[in-house]
Structure 1
């Protein structure tokens, strides 16, 4: 169905009868905005001992632990090994998952084990490509945390390694498989907001932890931390606890706010509107408050251009991050279209459709005589711009996940493990992951160059 036909279909269903409105319930809920419950049917199949999936975690830090806890909620998953360069995290792994799990500082020992089916890679960004490729070549299925790559030129090797290995590779923007994303995609394709004209995304934080000033353990030293291995291909520097435990603050190891936060938004946006991504970016920002030695901005604003495609009109996107938001913090992700707006969260979607004013008001009529104003009103009335259908197809509706919803993180791992068991497709494969990461990395490139940068979203190349 073409986009225009889809939009007409949406308005038609929203205006014909109350029965039809049950599928597009704007009017039913418009006055009180009563939430509509979302739901998902999980396909649970019986599995035996041979269907158990043994996983290992490489990078037992904050995100790695949250990833593993979510993965273990899926039936038939067992963690058998963990890897980290700080011995205290290996001790923590045993506390969490049992004294019998295998622990090591060397990820290659994980890949050499025959009892491991899949690895979760939650290392600093500059190690993602190296370990992901090695894991795929070793015959392991891979769940790699976002952003998939630290640099533009690293993605193609992961794509090739996945294709050559035939193994499943899921990129870990954990909100991707959420009920919110799923419903938003359905609504967008149904024409709920018309043609998209703008995306507005922001993430405000107001805490040291939110600005990546993570705690440093009291026993951190060259004895407990393998700092040389951590550096990897990055420039050699003396041992520095901040660089190891707060690596997101440094360009050598991380990807700044864009790689950490923009990439989630691009994953959702590209999925909802079935897009390959933007083709141009212009970034600005600076280090305004957290001057703790970091070399990435704590305030960032980036404007993106999306070209016209078969699935969306040309539009602009605004991405804003503020790590010193005196308002106290918060966030939002809103698609704005020609006929409405859609605010998307992992657990909910809210669509608001307003009436477009097409007839002149007193403001623009004041300079005309009373006789001329009457003639102009008659002229507009004859055009019948203010139709009953346009008035009916308005209102606000929220779709909300039920209280017992297991969450987007669970859903992303459920998709990953189901794909392993059925040799199916994941929702965020390496091509998708590179397009999301590439779009985010454009912000860093533009910020450093102090000029706009261009990107070919189809070929995934910097221009």
Structure 2
């Protein structure tokens, strides 16, 4: 096992970065993007923390935003560092920029860079809190992949760090920037289907216990650093958790990091897709920053689907939203005057006149279709130097409007479309749903006080808070 032998990491756990060194300062001249000269004062310089498939996809979105430069990257896998560096420097050369992307194994070193304005956090969920909190303390704005955190308390501490340090944070819940979801939210809030009574939100299966066999750790991976704050002795290395790649010849990951599917390291589809679908449902019914007050797991008292009850009487269930298509992730809002269905690339309403012409007649994609579209999109993006074509259905992983909104807010200091409080409330909902499932009984929560209601067992659950492995601390 490769150990973290770097000196001074414990110092950085307290992030004494108020007096940052200038050793890594890089002076970049003005340059052109799509024929438009970008002055240094308007340029936004990014660093990437976590360099798997998601970071590559997100870079494709950022590459389409005028005035963006990438100066550095960080990962605990040295091969992923090298792959990312090659991608960035190829893009820079194609855009007549001086090709340079510095590589780091320790994100603390990247955060010491004075020339970096903002960072992307695309690490596994259990690293999001420390990466984001330390970035905020170091004066960086953050684009943090969803779900915002691994536990409830982590999300709450991230809100404090972002607001306390006057930073901009955009959560990677890119459906917020998509026209079909924005239209669905508008229709619900305008009363197009009357008073909302029920919501069906299909996200997928919850996490399962880790059942992968232990395998030898490859020399290019610092597994000890990958583990970070996780302290569960049942967690061990398996390539599915941190999918391997090769650089020469380039062979990319054959699957998404499976850490998300196991309860020791992730929150399953409950959070992976719940951070999208539950998020939109909350936005539509005006529950951003709040949430349900009761969580009932599937199977309790013979129930078929997990349910979440809001104080205003609305009940949201995790069940198929579209008859005859159980596998599609999406949402159905049911009101006393009609219904609305929405999924990626799809919007339908009981009143057809409410659906814009460009969205009418479409249908939601199945999981297999989305996977196929994703592979096609990746190949196309790579051929075009990682610059995606806009408007392609299924291109959510390179959603440049969502990235552009973040870059605009880095410049304006306004709140982005998916700010940290939104990510926190959605993450809390997902964690609470999994807590109720693991306890196999209802759990009651007060969104105003951010506390359980007379439930010490739930309050002690690891998804509310767990003890970090030393030397890490929250």
Deviation of the 1:230 alpha carbon: 0.9
Q: Deviations over 1:72-110 (max 9, x none)?
A: 211111112111111221121023211621111111111
Tell me what 1:305 maps to.
Answer: 309
In the alignment, is the contact (CA less than 8 A) between 1:222 and 1:239 conserved in 2? no
Tell me what 2:221 maps to.
Answer: 225
Q: How far apart are the structure 1 equivalents of 2:39 and 2:346?
A: 35
Q: How far apart are the structure 2 equivalents of 1:458 and 1:346?
A: 32
In the alignment, is the contact (CA less than 8 A) between 1:301 and 1:321 conserved in 2? no
What secondary structure is seen at the aligned counterpart in 2 of 1:103?
strand
Tell me what 1:280 maps to.
Answer: 294
Tell me what 2:422 maps to.
Answer: 432
What secondary structure is seen at the aligned counterpart in 2 of 1:284?
coil
Tell me what 1:423 maps to.
Answer: 413
Q: How far apart are the structure 2 equivalents of 1:404 and 1:57?
A: 23
Q: How far apart are the structure 1 equivalents of 2:334 and 2:435?
A: 27
Whose strand proportion is higher, 1 or 2? Answer: 1
In the alignment, is the contact (CA less than 8 A) between 2:320 and 2:328 conserved in 1? no
Deviation of the 1:202 alpha carbon: 1.9
In the alignment, is the contact (CA less than 8 A) between 1:349 and 1:399 conserved in 2? no
Q: Deviations over 1:232-283 (max 9, x none)?
A: 1212455433343321132232112211111211211121222122111112
Q: How far apart are the structure 2 equivalents of 1:222 and 1:58?
A: 20
Q: How far apart are the structure 1 equivalents of 2:117 and 2:197?
A: 44
What secondary structure is seen at the aligned counterpart in 2 of 1:242?
coil
- Displacement over 6 Å in runs of 4+: none
Q: How far apart are the structure 1 equivalents of 2:390 and 2:60?
A: 17
In the alignment, is the contact (CA less than 8 A) between 2:320 and 2:327 conserved in 1? no
Q: How far apart are the structure 2 equivalents of 1:167 and 1:204?
A: 33
What secondary structure is seen at the aligned counterpart in 1 of 2:240?
helix
Q: Which runs of 5+ in 1 are unaligned?
A: 1-44, 206-210, 286-299, 309-313, 354-393
Q: How does 1:347-386 map to 2 (within 5 A)?
A: 347-353=345-351
2:358 to 400, 403, 412: 400
Q: Which runs of 5+ in 2 are unaligned?
A: 1-35, 90-98, 244-257, 361-388, 454-474
* Residues 432/302 of structure 1: CA separation in 2 closer, same or farther (3 Å cut): same
Q: How far apart are the structure 1 equivalents of 2:219 and 2:117?
A: 31
Tell me what 1:151 maps to.
Answer: 151
Tell me what 1:66 maps to.
Answer: 57
Q: How far apart are the structure 1 equivalents of 2:419 and 2:451?
A: 18
Deviation of the 1:51 alpha carbon: 0.8
1:267 to 245, 264, 279: 279
Deviation of the 1:284 alpha carbon: 3.0
Tell me what 2:75 maps to.
Answer: 84
Tell me what 1:241 maps to.
Answer: 239
TM-score (norm 2): 0.67
- Please identify, of 408-417 and 49-58, the stretch whose mean Cα deviation from structure 2 is larger: 408-417
Q: How far apart are the structure 2 equivalents of 1:332 and 1:250?
A: 23
What secondary structure is seen at the aligned counterpart in 1 of 2:225?
helix
* Residues 282/420 of structure 1: CA separation in 2 closer, same or farther (3 Å cut): same
In the alignment, is the contact (CA less than 8 A) between 1:263 and 1:439 conserved in 2? no
TM-score (norm 1): 0.69
Tell me what 1:57 maps to.
Answer: 48
Q: How far apart are the structure 2 equivalents of 1:342 and 1:83?
A: 42
Indicate the RMSD between aligned Cα atoms, in angstroms. 3.2
Q: Deviations over 1:191-226 (max 9, x none)?
A: 111011111122469xxxxx9x9xxxx9x8341110
In the alignment, is the contact (CA less than 8 A) between 1:262 and 1:319 conserved in 2? no
Q: How far apart are the structure 1 equivalents of 2:359 and 2:42?
A: 30
Tell me what 1:376 maps to.
Answer: none
Q: How far apart are the structure 2 equivalents of 1:401 and 1:143?
A: 29
Q: How far apart are the structure 1 equivalents of 2:305 and 2:83?
A: 37
- 1:121 equivalenced with 2:118 (yes/no): no
Deviation of the 1:321 alpha carbon: 8.2
